[in-house]
Amino acid sequence: MIFPVNSDYTDKNPSLGALYAGHLETLTARHDHALEQAGASHVIIYSGNPKVAFLDDNFYPFKANPHFVSWAPLTKLPFSYIVYTPGETPLLLYYQPRDYWHVVPGPPEGYWTRHFDIRIVNAIEDVAELLPAQREKCIVIGEIEDATLAYGVERINPNTAINIVHYARSTKTDYELAIMRLASKRGAMGHRAAEAAFRAGLPEFEIHRAYCQAVGHTDYELPYGNIIALNEHGAVLHYTDLERSNPDTCHSFLIDAGAQVHGYASDITRTYSFDDTRFQDLIDRMDVMQREIVNRVEVGVDYRDLHVDTHRMLAEVLVDAELATGDPDTLLESGVTTAFFPHGLGHLLGIQVHDVAGFMENESGTAIDPPSGHPFLRLTRVLEENMVLTIEPGLYVIDMLLEKLSDTPAEKLINWDMVNWLRPFGGIRIEDDVRVMINDRENLTRDAFAAAS
């Protein structure tokens, strides 16, 4: 069977081409500022290189430097460099070795190529003569484990420049937003296929295969390891084991899985009941709560407040579901809501699934701490226009956390019989990717599911 590649996901997409020039203009302005503040004249961005496994001759899957990927949709191009000098066309040193052991990158093609001065490099040694001669005026951004790959540049990843670029990356260009919409649509197709596989009674491993086939990704092309969790596996927050056989009885399915286009990720979670109406009612109640939280996303909102408010809203869900008794503040302050919902509400999203700058107050890198008692929150900033973030509240039966409430006043606030009922279902998480707007928001995930239905 042949599965054609959707051309929307390639660098032949004309709608992305129409937006790329504006994106590049934004990138160059950011790097102009970063270079000025760092007292440098040139930035050299290294794509990275494959890493060999310890005591082996096999390589781990290559993952390109996100700074490199932000300039061009080249996620599988190791040993390559982008050299940018303010006022000049960016130079791309495109590594294309003469090799008969491995697949060699093809010729550079696509909407982005006309914006670069591209030089084909057949050997690593050829890079040196193509870099700026005055190495002392250069900075390198990239993972340089072998000093020879810096070619005499001593300033590698200086904080002054890195912080400026990271802080700027938290807001997305129109080009990046268009790509992330495509990544959301791609992910939604995978989720539809995974739900169908679950309904057909397939085990976790086969559900995972159905997902990968639908999105057109191999495992290492996924933006993160798929969480395909049946029953109580849904209570393991980062469950990635993929059982090959089915449980004796199937109760529930939690899937946290994304897709990528040009290196930009989607990050989507859904939870399904197999045939239990009470658990479905709880999923529906969590879905209502999650939508309410999404509807509070807009420019000027402090994400820390949104996270704490989510705990108060979850307290109401716990009471409605007869899992706990008490008012929201009591359940929050006693640690009950944290035992059921131990992770953060969400994070920034982009080239990296947990995108950079979630804690940054400014371009100097000043950190904003999470609220007291909530150490796992990955986004602590006041929301700005065109940030893309996740909203992913959860409710789980995690025994090691609930046991900590034993012999405390909180123990009497929990209905342990209902906890025992919920345990075989594992938990519930619902996650959408949301763009921040002025007095509004764009739900990339819900829009993608609507388009896929």
Average pLDDT of the residues in 268-286: 98
Using DSSP, state whether 164 is helix, strand or coil. helix
The helix-helix angle for 159-169 and 14-38 (nearest 10°) equals 150
CB 85 within 8 A of CB 139: no
In the chain, what are the domains?
7-169 (3.40.350.10), 174-452 (3.90.230.10)
Tokens linked to 308:
């704490």
DSSP classification of residue 91:
E
CB 143 within 8 A of CB 68: no
Task: Give whole-number Cα distances, 213 to 143, 267, 272, 420, 453, in Å.
Answer: 32, 17, 21, 36, 18
- Whole-number CA gyration radius for the chain: 24
| 40-51 tens-digit pLDDT | 999 999 999 999
| 9-35 tens-digit pLDDT | 888 899 999 999 999 999 999 999 999
Strand-pair category, 138-141 with 42-46: parallel
Mean predicted lDDT score pLDDT of the chain: 97
DSSP classification of residue 182:
H
| 185-202 tens-digit pLDDT | 999 999 999 999 999 999
Residue type, 365: G
Residue that the structure tokens 């046991």 belong to: 403
Q: Which pLDDT score, from 0 to 100, does residue 392 have?
A: 99
DSSP classification of residue 106:
-
Task: Give whole-number Cα distances, 311 to 260, 300, 329, 345, 406, in Å.
Answer: 31, 20, 9, 9, 20
CB 395 within 8 A of CB 427: yes
CB 378 within 8 A of CB 307: no
The sign of the dihedral angle between the CA atoms of 354, 359, 365, 369 is negative
Strand-pair category, 388-391 with 268-273: unpaired
Burial zone of 86 (CB within 10 Å; 0-12 exposed, 13-18 middle, 19+ buried): middle
Dist CA 207 CA 214 (whole Å): 11
Does the structure show a pLDDT above 50 at 1?
A: no
| 100-157 tens-digit pLDDT | 999 999 999 999 999 999 999 999 999 999 999 999 999 999 999 888 889 999 999 9
User: How crowded is the C-beta side of 410, counted as CA atoms within 13 Å?
Assistant: 21
Tokens linked to 337:
């809501």
Dist CA 136 CA 16 (whole Å): 36
Tokens linked to 74:
């080249």
Burial zone of 255 (CB within 10 Å; 0-12 exposed, 13-18 middle, 19+ buried): buried
Does the structure show a pLDDT above 60 at 92?
A: yes
CB 253 within 8 A of CB 271: yes
> Would the pTM count as exceeding 0.85?
yes
